[in-house]
Amino acid sequence: MRDRFAALALVLLVAGCATATDTTSPETTPGISDGATSAARSAVAAAPPTVEVTELLTGLNKPWDVAVAPDGTLLTGQRGGGFVARRPDGSVTTPAADLSDLYVSGETGLMGIALDPGFASNRRVFTCQGHRSDGPIDVRLLSWTVDPEWTALTRTGVVLSGLPSTGGRHAGCRILPAPDGTLFVGTGDATIPTAPQDPHSLGGKVLHIDTDGSPAAGNPDPASPVYTLGHRNVQGLSFRPGSGQLYSVEQGTHRDDEVNALVPAGNYGWRPDLEPGRYIEAVPMTDTDRVPGAREAVWSSGTPTLATASGSFLLGPDWGEWSGALAVGTQQGEKVMLLGLTPDGLGVERQASLLDGRYGRIRTVSGQPDGTLLVTTDNGDDDVVLRLTPRP
């Protein structure tokens, strides 16, 4: 990490945080496979915005997600267990929490974190985690409350259980609060061949639920939490500013990470059950032959994959022409990719990147109302939470 910091010329310390400026050059559009969309082929490289990079938290181990409270407190969790909070004055606490049933394996552990839209009054926090008990291992969405001093999270219930888990692969699990107070949850298929296309499985889906875990009003099946199906491993969810269109970011196999525009009951074409009982990853991410009516991706990485791990839209005028673009965290790509969508939201017209290789693997990007972008890294050694501030 010391060499990486030197490369970034971290020369200014403000309130205990290292700050630098990033002006990464335009990226070359990745090679596009036969299964990629025409919209992805037409994307052109463009000059990225200039950003100031500030380190908010250091010395972490795989901080999977990050959320910010109304008072400015930042909350993150380490995938292997444990919460960390940074107060507005820069002080750091490690809130106590009962994680005795946390299951950590492969890609599974303490994952998504989101604050209840009514957090200012109820102080409720939602998390997604691998769960181990006397019964089968699964992934669960839990609710907590946190005290005003951020010293302890107290578990208040299981919102949703039974998200599949097999050995820790393809666990999801992104949580997105909606403006109406409901929750969207992106899940992985747990490498179960039939899960993505099985409407009765919670794996390989985007779910839409109330905060008590019941299906949200307006779901395609009123008795089911399933909102969309045919996904491999949903890692990001975000609403586009202005239109309110919901997008998912999904990890591909050896090719074709995807960004998808979600519609109720939409099927996004992942069907790895080519042979009975076997999980076949050689099939297309969007298999229009075997999944009639499958919806094409808005963007696809082609070959090789970048391991897209999150997505969030940039907010505020200081981003200039990139205001409203989709930021995507990439693990193998080791950068924050910026995708400027077409006006109809069904294609990509330009792209660029930030932080190329300078902080290693990028897990979460989270656009903030104040116009900044929070970023977490996923290296497993001295990971950080960053704040990117656009500088016009």
Enclosing domain of residue 57: 2-390
Domain tally, the chain: 1
Greatest pairwise CA separation for the chain in angstroms: 59
In 270-358, where do the E strands start and end?
299-300, 308-313, 326-330, 335-341, 348-354
Q: What is the DSSP letter of 382?
A: S
**Are 284 and 297 spatial neighbours (Cβ–Cβ below 8 Å)?**
no
**Tens-digit pLDDT profile for residues 347-364:** 999 999 999 999 999 999
In this predicted structure, the answer to whether residue 344 has a pLDDT above a threshold of 90 is yes
CB neighbourhood size of 245 (10 A): 18
Q: What's residue 18's pLDDT?
A: 54
Looking at the predicted structure, is the pLDDT value of residue 27 above 50? Answer: no
Lowest mean pLDDT among 19-23, 84-88, 147-151, 360-364: 19-23
Mean pLDDT of the chain: 91
Residue 7, pLDDT > 50, answer no
Span 31-35, average pLDDT: 35
pLDDT in tens, 194-219: 999 999 999 999 999 999 999 999 99
pLDDT band, very low/low/confident/very high, at 23 (cuts 50, 70, 90): low
Res. 162 pLDDT band, cuts 50 70 90: very high
Helices (H), the chain: 2-7, 38-41, 119-122
pLDDT for res 1: 42
Q: Is the pLDDT of residue 9 over 70?
A: no
The predicted pLDDT at position 43 comes to 79
Over range 73-88, report the average pLDDT.
98
Report which DSSP code applies to 53.
E
Q: What is the pLDDT of residue 19?
A: 65
Q: What is the CATH number of the domain that holds 134?
A: 2.120.10.30
Share above pLDDT 90 across residues of the chain, in percent, rounded to a whole number: 88
Q: Per-residue pLDDT averaged across 121-148, rounded?
A: 96
Averaged pLDDT for residues 171-177: 96
Q: DSSP for 38-98?
A: HHHHT-EE-PPPPEEEEEEEEEES-EEEEEE-TTS-EEEEETTS-EEEE-TTS-EE--B--
